[in-house]
Structure 1
Amino acid sequence: MHPKNVHNQEYDMEALTVSYPELSSYIFQNDFRKTTIDFSNPEAVLHLNKALLKHHYQVANWNIPEDYLCAPIPGRADYIHYLADFLAEEGIDNKSIKGLDIGVGANCIYPILGARIYNWKMTGCDISLTSVKAAKANVNANFGLNNFIEIIHQPDPGHIFKGIVTPGTYFDFSMCNPPFHASAEEAKKASLKKLKNLGISGTALNFGGQANELWCNGGEALFIKRMIRESIAFKTQIGWFTCLVSKKENLPKIYKQLTKLKAFHKTIEMAQGNKKSRIIAWKF
């Protein structure tokens, strides 16, 4: 993980339960005498997120609708930290940064972390009205966040930037954690594999997620290629377009699209434990 990520170490369950006592109901000692939670239990994962947000980011009131994506905080924080380093290297003043989160989700995690860690002004958008309503509720329920975060509904699922990036607006960057999978079945298989790697038996999507949050036709590769094509029309209104790429095998297709459209691009490598991912950043 990024060296600035406060989640670099194992979770301090004792400290988390002091900040958020409700977590104690889900904590137990495993066979290795390690204090942990059941990561196959969506409710336990939800309360862990609540504890992390309250303890580390002063977000005391946070919730999501049932079966919506409960985004793992450590990996989301990594994207924010690596993005901050990248923007600094590009000479962008961290004190006045404005960012756009494509597909903010009900959890609103990226805008919350951007605002709390770096005081970024963030706009989040989503095609789901339920997600938009929940994200707004999370912003309004926590002191000071509404001074940094705006949530907008994208009424046209056929577009990514159009209708959100309006004339006269400018963002230093856009970011996106796209739907990784090409189908519901693929998403389920990936979740089961993840649980197996953790040594956990389970059949549920332990982090939840609606269709538009987890999968789309063509998976992440096609989604990112769509994003790249549409981004040309907004090249003067967004300084850097960025997107998380989960599957390394998708990079050649993405690079080909960027080269075809004559976009300058960089790849930022990230790792969380054994999991490797990367951020693709481009501009015209």
Structure 2
Amino acid sequence: MTMSGTTDAPRPTTAPKPKPAAPRLRAPRRPHSPGRPRRSILLTILTGVMLLYSLVPLLWLVISATKTQQGLARSFGLWFDGDFALWDNITETFTYQDGVFGRWLLNTLLYVVVGAGGATLLAVLGGYALAKFDFPGKRAVFAVVIGAVAVPTTALAVPTFLMFSKLGLTDTPWAIILPSLISPFGLYLMWVFAAEAVPTELMEAARIDGASELRAFFQVALPLLAPGTVTVLLFTTVATWNNYFLPLIMLKDPDWYPLTLGLDAWNKQAATAGGEAVFNLVVTGSLLTIAPLIAAFLLLQKYWQSGLAAGSVKE
């Protein structure tokens, strides 16, 4: 009981304890989207270096083709000379030595059309058969193909020369065409591509509908094999177009030379007694030689890229 007039003493109040701070959580990392590849500075630098490594020789070739014989010696390699002689060099290239450059160009086209075209056809037929048919000795064929891919072509040049000399085929176009028909890498590439690009069920459906094997191949399988076919055609074309060592040991007659061997003969001409230096024609001829390959790669780029990527993703 409290007396009147007196007040209760205030009770001491305790301050509320501060709440512990919530732990700071790291911001969740944004998941990497497959459609947006990560940027890499090192990879960008390496790509730029490789781009320069690839384009600088081509740039030098284009610039040097605009110079005269004297301009090649008095000017900087990566800059133009005072005299722009590109058209004169092209004209002189096709008229020098009675127009033998045109003959070399036709020879190269012959070797490419028959040799590289035949190699592509055989690779497509062989790759499709190995991918879609079972037969005894298939594993042995696979081992032979892989072994042939590993053997460099220069190692077979001398045995091929000895065999062709026995048959009397040296110094003839057949000495270049027949070896070019064999492309182990093209066969292996078409083998792998046909196994993924041509569904077995589709071929069985064509057979059930009454199509023969040839009709099923040309009307059903061959359109599906178009990207791989173009890829093999590009590889065999480049290999035949740039072939140097095989014609060097097989051919003696300059009338059957390809472009590679003919330009090499012009380049060595200055070192012979009384020989004329025609380095401007060698450079211009080299530019004319690579122009068709560049055009082929640019025109068939979409087929080539799709052919290389085929089979990389399995659904």
TM-score (ref. length: structure 1): 0.23
Structure showing greater Rg? 2
Higher relative contact order (CA 8 A, sep 6+): 2
Name the structure where helix makes up a greater proportion of residues: 2
TM-score (ref. length: structure 2): 0.22
Name the structure where strand makes up a greater proportion of residues: 1
